[in-house]
Amino acid sequence: MSVAQTGRRIRGWKPLALTAAAVLLGITLPTAAASPAVATTTAYDDTYYQDAIGKTGPALKDSLHTIISDQTRISYSAVWNALKATDQDPNNSNNVILLYTGTSRSKSLNGGSTGNWNREHVWAQSHGDFGTSAGPGTDLHHLRPEDVQINSIRGNKDFDNGGSAVSGAAGNYTDSNSFEPRDAVKGDVARMILYMAVRYEGDDSWADLEPNDSVSNGSSPYHGRLSVLKQWNDEDPPSAFEENRNEIIYDTYQHNRNPFIDHPEWVEAIW
């Protein structure tokens, strides 16, 4: 990890005040601002993303929507086994990694009881009320294994910085209207939300899902908070784990990709 990466993970970092103090003391500080996102891979630019390359703004969003809407839909019951593949612990093939807690738990503990993991909808199901029939409610690109109780604490809250520490999920914070995931998955959450916004445009039987800057979206088909999600996309670039699950979803299950994992810089190009 670079010095810059370490610097931006400090909570409550006040770059301007610290910079001023450092100048007085003659100290060189690490850069506080996250670097702008850059492509993770260009392997699909000449094929899968051919029609999107070179575009920006609404034209890029439209093009990506067409590309990623060509997909196989899976049933909600099939999501269990899919998550056991997409979110397998790289160090223990009997386990999955839980999104918010970051812990490794037996694949066989899927269910609805205390100590189980279940199917977390990162784009909250109620935001657009899409339920669990094959469609946005079963789209693996935003579904992750999570501890039953932590999933319940997250509920249908929008994402934002701030709040009190979540008991049992180190590095996560929540208050009455928002949830802040741990640093290592902040970018994952942002890219999942923004995938949903591009994939679902209201031209099928589902609502047009869109990001906004609110933390009180309730059952409206919106998810916040866009300004914070954009920061998280820069602060937490795609990891090998995130890239691997994108490949498994593409190769084995849905045959579509999350463009923001391959090209996180497209977040800024669209929003």
For Ca ion, the binding residues (CB under 5 A) are 160, 175, 177-178, 187-188, 197, 201, 208-210, 236, 239
Question: What is the nearest approach in angstroms of Ca ion to the Cβ of residue 200?
Answer: 5
Residue 158's nearest CA partner among 115, 183, 126 is: 126
CA distances from 43 to 23, 130, 261 (A): 44, 33, 12
Question: What is the nearest approach in angstroms of Ca ion to the Cβ of residue 160?
Answer: 5
Compare residues 82 and 128 and give the one whose CB is closer to Ca ion: 128
Query: At residue 158, what is the residue type?
Result: D
Compare residues 15 and 102 and give the one whose CB is closer to Ca ion: 102
Which residue has 């602060």 as its token pair?
A: 235
Compare residues 150 and 185 and give the one whose CB is closer to Ca ion: 185
Question: What is the nearest approach in angstroms of Ca ion to the Cβ of residue 211?
Answer: 9
CA distances from 56 to 53, 61, 63, 250, 265 (A): 9, 8, 10, 24, 11
Which residue has 């294994």 as its token pair?
A: 145
Contacts of 54 (CB under 8 A, 6+ apart): none
Question: What is the nearest approach in angstroms of Ca ion to the Cβ of residue 79?
Answer: 21
10 Å Cβ neighbour count for 75? Answer: 11
Compare residues 51 and 204 and give the one whose CB is closer to Ca ion: 204
Question: What is the nearest approach in angstroms of Ca ion to the Cβ of residue 9?
Answer: 12
Compare residues 150 and 181 and give the one whose CB is closer to Ca ion: 181
3-state secondary structure of 95: strand
